[in-house]
């Protein structure tokens, strides 16, 4: 009985998270990107209109250099131990934001509000 309950719970989590992942992966997005540092939106950028440039965001003296190039955005340099944000490459439109945990930086497509509601 308890086993069955556990099986149902695991299967439900697996299926629901799979379905939500696929839905979020395929969802169409706008072209507005927001950069969040330490919980605050520092700037909003319309990638389709923005000229190529670099943005430096600082947190406790540690810098992240964000590059906008041909309508794409990525982190070129990060002063943090893991460099996960650099390895994540360009921000793709599949709903996975670029995150730098040590420097509390997030780059994501705007309209993440409804992601919060879905989660």
Partner 1 sequence: MTQPHSSRTRRLTLLALLTAVSLIMFVIELQIPSPVPIPGIKLGLANIVTVFAVYTCKAGEAASVFAARIILGAVFAGTPVTLLFSACGGLLCLIGMLLIRRFTDIGSIVLASIAGAVLHNLGQTAAAVFVMKTTAVLAYLPYLCFAGCIAGAFTGLCAYLVIRRLRRSGAERLMQETEQERKRRRDKNDF
Nearest-approach distance from CB 83 to partner 1, in angstroms: 11
Cβ partners under 8 Å of residue 91, min gap 6: 33, 72, 73, 74, 97, 98, 107, 108, 109
Residues forming beta bridges with residue 36, ordered by sequence position: 41, 106
* Residue 73 binds partner 1, judged by CB under 8 A: no
Q: Which stretch binds partner 1 (CB under 8 A): 5-13, 48-56, 66-74?
A: 5-13
The neighbour count for residue 81, using CB atoms within 10 Å, is 8
Please give the residue ranges that form the binding site for partner 1 (CB under 8 A): 2-3, 6-7, 9-10, 13-14, 17-18, 20-21, 24, 36, 38-39, 81-82, 84, 87-89, 95-97, 99, 101-102, 104, 106, 108, 112, 115-116, 119
């Amino acid at each position: 009985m308890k086993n069955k309950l556990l099986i149902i719970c695991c299967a439900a989590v697996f299926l629901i998270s799979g379905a939500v992942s696929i839905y979020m992966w395929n969802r169409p997005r706008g072209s507005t990107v927001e950069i969040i540092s330490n919980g605050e939106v520092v700037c909003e950028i319309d990638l389709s209109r923005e000229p190529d440039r670099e943005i430096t965001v600082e947190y406790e003296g540690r810098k992240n250099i964000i590059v906008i190039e041909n309508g794409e955005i990525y982190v070129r340099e990060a002063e943090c131990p893991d460099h996960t944000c650099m390895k994540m490459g360009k921000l793709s439109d599949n709903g996975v934001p670029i995150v730098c945990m040590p420097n509390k930086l997030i780059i994501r497509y705007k309209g993440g509000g409804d992601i919060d509601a879905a989660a």
